[in-house]
Structure 1
Amino acid sequence: MQRRTFLQSASVLAAASLFSVARAAEQSAVRITLPSAGSAGSAWRPLIDSQHLNTDSTLNLNWITADPGKMQVQLSAGSLDVGVFGAVGLATLVNRGSDIVLFGPALNNHGRWIVRNDSPYKEPKDLIGKTIATTAETSETYLQARIAASLIGIDLKKDVKVIHGSPTANLALFERGDVEAIITLEPTATRLVGRGAREIARVADLWKQATGQTEDPFLVGLAASRTWFDANRETAKQLAALFERFGQAIHANPDSLKTIAQDLGIKADETQAIDLLPQRLAPAYSTRWDDGVFATIDKQIQTAVKLGLLDRTPDRTIYVKA
């Protein structure tokens, strides 16, 4: 009887110990945003896993589907540790008192101006006075497109009639012919080109044309509350290094994007779009987090202030080196 009691007690203690270990592991995991299929960020999890890019055994990732519109709330509430933000969107929040800070790379700008194949328009300036569709007015996609367009003499607020809506609604408008063009991100742009639509400009190219820079500009980076960052500096450093490694792996082997086409929201029968992924989507992934990137972020904020997209430059720098 004593032996049986001892064994039962030992089993209970062992189970409790395993539960404690599992609970501790769960609590130490980084709760990081997972963009849904149909966005460039949806490549992160499948390729990090399949290519074993997370080489640090202490970096435990808990991917959480996060609505970009609710990301600040999730970060502030503690239900999400790490999200992604762009320069202008984050600067707007910082001016309102947010403590969120950028600490690592994520995506370069991959916005595209798309028209139908039979369209007479060959460049963005041809669309002055016309109607186009794009994402919400507060989205980084639109904000950065407006900044880049302004640098080549186009004011999207005044020179073009812009309809703002969800990606699905915008596609419907475009395919019905209710708008002359659409400004959208990858991989949606590649899906449209694969179906016969025509690209007339990349937002990144407009930026480079105006600034003389040779690399695609920053779109969004890894972000967390200053409180989380200060308490988890080593984890933040590991995470920033992982995303640099991810971008470098994609640039070295862009064909790997074909293997996760379905994770990106592309159907198996969209063979033309899948074939285009390596050349069109690979440049979207950042490989650096350094002074060059910081200079671009500063330039984006300065231009946003001149355009009135920001009322002022934030009192503090919105990025840090992890």
Structure 2
Amino acid sequence: MAENKLKLGIPKGSLQDATIKLFERSGWKVRMHHRNYFPEINDDDIICSMCRAQEMSRYVENGTLDVGLTGKDWILENESDVVVVSDLVYSKVSNRPARWVLAVAGDSPYKRPEDLAGKKIATELCHFTQTYFEKAGIPVDVEFSWGATEAKVVEGLADAIVEVTETGTTIKAHGLRIISELLQTNTQLIVNKAAWEDPWKRKKIENINMLLQGALCAEKLAGLKMNVPADKMEAVMGILPSLTAPTVANLYNKDWLSVEIVVEEGTVRDLIPQLRDLGAEAIIEYSLNKVI
């Protein structure tokens, strides 16, 4: 019987570092080698390969890779027939979906996609863009852009662009104006259909997904531990926005209780002073690697 191995694709490019950090928080250390597309990973069951996100879904579909991470946008662009296991919302900038937007020069007369009938649009997402305008019944000339897409309008090479953005800052910096959002996209964990039918590979992939999701969940949470006077416990409980019921244990001194909770990280700044005012002491905040 052949040794079981899972062929994993790591996206090369803008998501590379964020993906490797996510895997590290999930329990896998991926070590890159200079000019080498096959990183090492501390899991004998996995073989890693680097692949551009734009091409990932094709290699997963044809079985070159069993599983990979790529954007929803490139799955749609390539019309890839793969199994989407889950969404993994993370990026190099923020934990929110990116957007493919239609943008024009800030001083142009175009206000709506319909105003671009007969015009030239530059983008890297050609197939999706062409399909979008065809479905809308708007005839346009879609042209592939090899990069620096924002400059195409400024240089007079296109009337509009379709470009990906998270904050819109770069688009605005080039003097462009967004007139429509075509697609929201985020990273997805995708699997080859044959690999998904293999019991060993499926279980391995499900475990990977569980731990990746756990690491992403933990990014938004923090742990709090404190000592609370027994007679103040009800008041403290009234302000604790815990993920689940807090863990409470008696201290050696029966007049005090040890309380441990998991809360939204954004609440900690305001919560700690309130807890201190209610009599809590020895308050400890700690980060979480994974929440399953």
User: TM-score, length-normalised on structure 1?
Assistant: 0.47
Larger radius of gyration: 2
Please state how far the C-alpha of 1:111 moved relative to its aligned partner.
0.6
1:176 aligns with 2:155: yes
Contact 2:150–2:171 (Cα < 8 Å) also in 1: no
What is the aligned-residue identity percentage? 16
Give the counterpart of 2:85 among 92, 103, 109.
Answer: 103
Are positions 1:191 and 2:170 aligned together?
yes
**1:184 shift after superposition:** 1.0
Deviations 1:69-113 (A, max 9, x none): 3752466454564243646456x454xxxxx32222146562111
Bigger helix fraction: 1
Aligned mates of 2:169, 2:48 — CA distance in 1: 26
Deviation at 1:245, TM superposition (A): 4.4
Relative contact order, CA 8 A, sep 6+: which one is greater?
1
Q: CA contact under 8 A between 2:122 and 2:144: conserved in structure 1? A: yes
Give the aligned partner of residue 137 of structure 2.
155
Q: Does 1:224 align with 2:213?
A: no
1:157-181 deviation per Cα after TM superposition (whole angstroms, max 9, x unaligned)? x2x232233334x445223122121
Unpaired runs of 5+ residues, structure 2, are 30-40, 90-96, 223-292
Deviations 1:281-316 (A, max 9, x none): xxxxxxxxxxxxxxxxxxxxxxxxxxxxxxxxxxxx
Give the corresponding residue for 1:300: none
In structure 2, distance between residues paired with 1:76 and 1:235: 20
Question: What is the rounded CA distance, in whole Å, between the counterparts of 2:71 and 2:205 in structure 1?
Answer: 15
- Equivalent runs, 1:255-294 vs 2, <5 Å: none
CA distance, structure 2, for counterparts of residue 252 and residue 127 of structure 1: 45
Give the structure 2 partner of residue 237 of structure 1.
206
- In the alignment, what sits opposite 1:118? 107
**Residue 89 and residue 174 in structure 1: after superposition, are their counterparts in 2 closer, same or farther (change >3 A)?**
closer
Corresponding residue number in structure 2 for 1:34: 11
Distance 1:203 1:102 in 2: 21
* Pairwise CA distance, 1:223: 1.5
- Indicate yes or no: 2:190 matched with 1:202: no
Q: Structure 1 residues 35, 252: closer, same or farther in 2, change over 3 A?
A: farther
CA 1:47–1:220: 2 relative to 1, 3 Å? closer
Is the CA contact (8 Å cut-off) linking 2:8 and 2:68 kept in structure 1?
A: yes
Provide the alpha-carbon RMSD of the alignment: 4.1
Change (3 A) 1:70 1:239: closer
The structure-2 alpha-carbon separation of the partners of 1:88 and 1:45, relative to structure 1 and needing over 3 Å to count, comes to closer
Cα distance change of structure 1 residues 226 and 74 upon mapping to structure 2, 3 Å threshold: closer
C-alpha contact 2:8 2:65 (8 A) present in aligned 1: yes
**Superposed, which structure 2 residues align to 1:51-66 within 5 Å?**
53-55=25-27, 60=43, 64-66=49-51
* CA distance in structure 2 between the aligned counterparts of 1:193 and 1:126, rounded to whole angstroms: 20
Task: Quickly say closer, same or farther: Cα 1:74–1:221, change in 2 above 3 A.
Answer: closer
Tell me which residue corresponds to 2:18.
44
CA contact (8 A) 1:59 1:238 kept: no
| TM-score, normalised with respect to structure 2 | 0.51
Higher strand share: 2
User: Do the aligned partners of residues 89 and 111 (structure 1) sit closer, same or farther apart at CA in structure 2, a change above 3 Å counting?
Assistant: closer
Distance 1:134 1:195, change over 3 A: closer
Q: Tell me which amino acid in the other structure corresponds to 2:70.
A: V
Q: Distance in 2 between matches of 1:221 and 1:247?
A: 13
Q: In the TM superposition, what is the alpha-carbon distance from 1:62 to its structure 2 partner?
A: 6.4
Match of 1:235, SS state, is helix
Cα pair 1:75 1:82 within 8 Å, conserved: no
